[in-house]
């Protein structure tokens, strides 16, 4: 019974039901938008679009997390501290550079499809992860590190067994922000030929079909909310174990 009262479970159920039922909602959207000859997006299944969307976000987020956490760890080590301003500047440039501009530059080189979109999403996703990694590692008291060193731990052991576990809740908050940003930003990947939940939105905007826009936007919003709640649960779990 407790599981049935879980809001996250119900959000997932609603999302899955929409994926299945939207192609059969002709009567509903036809009544809402009687002026539209085709009020329901039918070119591709919403399930296929959702899977492609999550794959795109997943691949780009994994790379962004690896780069962001790796760079954050590197510049907080004694041998990498001098590179910290450069790394932070490069990450900030990647965040502020418009994804559409990245796509415009990448398409002539890489062609249409998912590859240029992945590059844009990686550039957009690195900064939150890097900032959270720096904040999390920087907040660890030096006394804790000194105790670990006094116990005979090597620098690698200190990082794995002390620093990263203590910084994990803060790092996770940055990963959470990065993934949520990428879920929304991935919609523009449809402008370069990638299939995502943004495809109905882009087609709807170009064809003045508000129904398509609503169908895509609702699914993207629900996906972002679900992923955000999953990260919230994971963050609560890590916080309890970090105490």
pLDDT at 190: 85
18 found inside a domain: no
CA 3 to chain centre: 26
21 found inside a domain: no
Q: What is the number of other CB atoms lying within 10 angstroms of the CB of residue 35?
A: 7
Query: How far apart (Å, rounded) are the C-alpha atoms in residues 193 and 197?
Result: 12
Locate all alpha helices (DSSP H) within 111-163, ordered by sequence: 114-138, 142-150, 155-158
Query: How far apart (Å, rounded) are the C-alpha atoms in residues 112 and 84?
Result: 35
3-state DSSP call for residue 203? Answer: helix
pLDDT tens track for 56-91? 999 999 999 999 999 999 988 887 778 888 887 877
Q: H/E element holding 10?
A: helix 7-21
Q: Which domain holds residue 82?
A: 45-242
Position 53 pLDDT exceeds 90: yes
17 found inside a domain: no
Q: What residue has token string 């932070």?
A: 88
Position 108 pLDDT exceeds 80: no
225 found inside a domain: yes
Q: What's the N-to-C CA distance of the chain in angstroms? A: 30
Indicate which CATH number applies to the domain containing 197.
1.10.3720.10
Position 1 pLDDT exceeds 60: no
Ramachandran assignment for 10, one of left (phi > 0), alpha (psi -120 to 50 degrees), beta (any other): alpha
58 found inside a domain: yes
16 found inside a domain: no
Give me the number of domains the chain comprises: 1
């Amino acid at each position: 019974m407790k599981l049935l009262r879980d809001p996250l479970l119900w959000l997932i159920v609603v999302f899955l039901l929409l994926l299945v039922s939207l192609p059969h909602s002709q009567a509903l959207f036809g009544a809402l938008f009687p002026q539209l000859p085709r009020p329901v997006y039918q070119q591709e299944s919403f399930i296929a679009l959702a899977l492609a969307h999550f794959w795109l976000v997943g691949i780009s987020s994994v790379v962004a997390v690896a780069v962001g956490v790796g760079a954050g760890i590197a510049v907080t080590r004694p041998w990498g501290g001098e590179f910290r301003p450069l790394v932070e500047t490069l990450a900030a440039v990647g965040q502020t550079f418009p994804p559409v501009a990245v796509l415009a530059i990448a398409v002539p080189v890489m062609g249409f499809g998912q590859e240029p979109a992945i590059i844009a999403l990686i550039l957009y996703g690195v900064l939150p992860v890097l900032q959270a990694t720096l904040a999390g590692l920087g907040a660890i008291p030096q006394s804790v590190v000194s105790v670990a060193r006094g116990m005979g731990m090597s620098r690698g052991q200190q990082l794995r067994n002390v620093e990263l576990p203590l910084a994990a809740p803060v790092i996770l908050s940055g990963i959470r922000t990065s993934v949520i940003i990428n879920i929304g930003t991935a919609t523009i990947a449809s402008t370069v030929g990638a299939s995502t939940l943004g495809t109905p939105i882009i087609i709807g905007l170009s064809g003045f079909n508000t129904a398509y826009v609503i169908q895509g936007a609702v699914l993207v919003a629900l996906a972002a909310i679900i992923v955000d709640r999953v990260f919230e649960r994971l963050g609560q779990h890590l916080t309890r174990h970090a105490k």
